[in-house]
Structure 1
């Protein structure tokens, strides 16, 4: 793919991704779905809170209606809210404007098919051809021109869906939420309030520039302090578009995606809800997590990094639970994509049912130390194919003598090569990574 990576078309606003790109995506999508069914297409749009999201929303809507589609605008909503509403409202496809956990200067366009999954690659290839001028689509005229619909009720239905997924009360529990000044800001608190929690919220005042800035799941230290200082039972941190969630236990310790998978996996297995007694993590998950699953009698099937790969494995094999260390968790019996707010509700379900603190539920897992270094490079493909880098990885693996691992991969959304070392102590991690980082030096930007 030239433009669409593992998580949509993403880039610096009006540099890597500009309004003309957005307009053309709207033009093609509006025409494609209308022509395929010989009637006016219905497309739903959501966005996060970064300033440029309004610009891209206008461009996409212009393209859609110019090609004859009706554009239903959800406004600010989590990415999983778009996926839910595409199916719930029987739309032809969905569009989410977000750069997730990236800085406010970036933005992105994610496309969702009518089943709520990430858009099929053959359609994305057609869109890329149109962007590059390899094809043409007609403009609608007369009464064939589309319209816009303010579809706020779609967001309300998504909130109702989250609440309805809970057959329990949160009365008497003090819960902290870090909304990252992003999409969760207008959704998370109403859900927890409706369930009876004493809800304490931080970073829910977006101004277009403060999304993900020293807050949310990528800067969780603020929530850690907040939970301890206020004596809260648990805290949850979302990213900019609220499709991922990390937790903080009552002691202020981070509970990452691996630990969330462990807690929810054990609970689902106990109650006969874990299909084939199997969890689907990625290759980035911690050795200690895998050992804890072994001890609990739970199987696992590892995938490549990316929630798209996790869900593909789940869907193909009928598994019910999967996710990433970063907090993308998918509950296959309830949804088709990662949903940060849903994840926090499922953790609360376990806490209420087991009547234990989160620190007690995670105690059986002893995680190995990890060190992750992100190296900005001029050409990530050249770096990944370098014989010197491959040799350095082998050298680092030998250095660990089978008591750890080194994983090197290119980012799907940024010009980065990620180097992860995992070993019994931090010194070994640092030394192993240093071997690979030295080999990457000639490729640094």
Structure 2
């Protein structure tokens, strides 16, 4: 938002996203407000790996000046409030908001308070090392406990950089990104707002979401895992709603990236406009049983290239045909093969997962 607002050439974010502070890295945003593409990032990394430090750095006297934008939080607060329907207020709602000791620790409670809610903020004491630690969107225990203790209407958990959010309803049951996207897609379609009647999600989204959308004559476009792939598909196809099961919700009517606070406001707007509690709103579909197992492999190994593993995968796909699906992929950050399956039969689900895992394990141990 600020990169666009300031007409900057580049936006730089230091973030570990939903991970511990030791994993801090750099996110780069172009002048259009979107993350740089994979190709652009690869080109930057190649430049840094070369002789840039010796030959391409500007001399000290040519450097510009760093200026602190004192009103940046206020600018964002006003921006995100504009995503909330005019005329609506949050009076009468008690909201627990878990800010994960992260970027939104001040602005998120302020936004809900300014819109009239009774706000119970947690995860708002950052010390530089406790970000995402036993809190936030990846560990909702504290939020759920606080919802019960306070009798709150809803809990909203953000991650460290606040680009994803997870909801706890008034019973402290968790609603993930799939359920949230289903709610938004159905509402937007009914309002004539869902571009091309299509939602964009990743291959990890539950088959139940796909079945639900089909029942509403809506479409699902699947992408590789990662919000950048979701955004790329949305931009190329002209879609305006997408996200991930993990809680990234991208709404290009409002911004260029996932925004947990904006998504939370959309959920709250649905509660107010329908008069329904959170528990009734986001139970759009029954999830198809899903199982995920990881198999570690050694350096230089390529277990997915083994004929026996491919045979096991083909057999599993045949076994669940018409009843589920199989997804096998390498982790992008660790030496792991992720084996995911969905099936309407729990016994068959365990059988096909265990068969694939056993074959991959056998190959890696050889």
TM-score in terms of structure 2 length: 0.91
Q: Is the 8 A contact 1:178 1:215 kept in 2?
A: yes
Asked if 1:357 corresponds to 2:282, the answer is no
Deviation at 1:443, TM superposition (A): 4.1
Equivalence for 1:3: none
Equivalence for 1:191: 111
Asked if 1:367 corresponds to 2:287, the answer is yes
Equivalence for 1:140: 59
Gaps of 5+ in 2: none
Equivalence for 1:92: 9
Q: Is the 8 A contact 1:381 1:410 kept in 2?
A: no
Asked if 1:104 corresponds to 2:21, the answer is yes
In the TM superposition, what are the counterparts of 1:277-356 in structure 2 within 5 Å? 277-356=197-276
In the TM superposition, what are the counterparts of 1:30-429 in structure 2 within 5 Å? 84-135=1-52, 136-142=55-61, 144-166=62-84, 167=86, 168-379=88-299, 382-429=302-349
Distance 1:90 1:357 in 2: 41
Distance 1:222 1:396 in 2: 39
Q: How many residue pairs get matched?
A: 360
Distance 2:100 2:293 in 1: 23
Deviation at 1:380, TM superposition (A): 8.7
Over 3 Å counting, the alpha-carbon distance change for 1:223 and 1:123 in structure 2 is: same
Q: Is the 8 A contact 2:179 2:284 kept in 1?
A: no
Distance 1:122 1:344 in 2: 32
Q: Is the 8 A contact 2:99 2:121 kept in 1?
A: yes
Distance 2:322 2:9 in 1: 50
Deviation at 1:264, TM superposition (A): 0.9
Distance 2:29 2:343 in 1: 39
Listed one character per residue, the Cα deviations across residues 41-93 of structure 1 (whole Å, up to 9, x for unaligned) are: xxxxxxxxxxxxxxxxxxxxxxxxxxxxxxxxxxxxxxxxxxx1100111110
Asked if 1:432 corresponds to 2:352, the answer is yes
Distance 1:304 1:238 in 2: 23
Distance 1:304 1:292 in 2: 21
Q: Is the 8 A contact 2:182 2:284 kept in 1?
A: no
Distance 1:372 1:271 in 2: 36
Q: Secondary structure at the match of 1:326?
A: coil
Q: Secondary structure at the match of 1:97?
A: strand
Over 3 Å counting, the alpha-carbon distance change for 1:160 and 1:127 in structure 2 is: same
Q: Secondary structure at the match of 1:301?
A: strand
Gaps of 5+ in 1: 1-83
Distance 1:325 1:380 in 2: 31
Q: Is the 8 A contact 2:309 2:356 kept in 1?
A: yes
RMSD over aligned CA atoms reads 2.1
Deviation at 1:317, TM superposition (A): 1.8
Distance 1:380 1:226 in 2: 47
Deviation at 1:210, TM superposition (A): 2.1
Q: Is the 8 A contact 2:179 2:283 kept in 1?
A: no
TM-score in terms of structure 1 length: 0.76
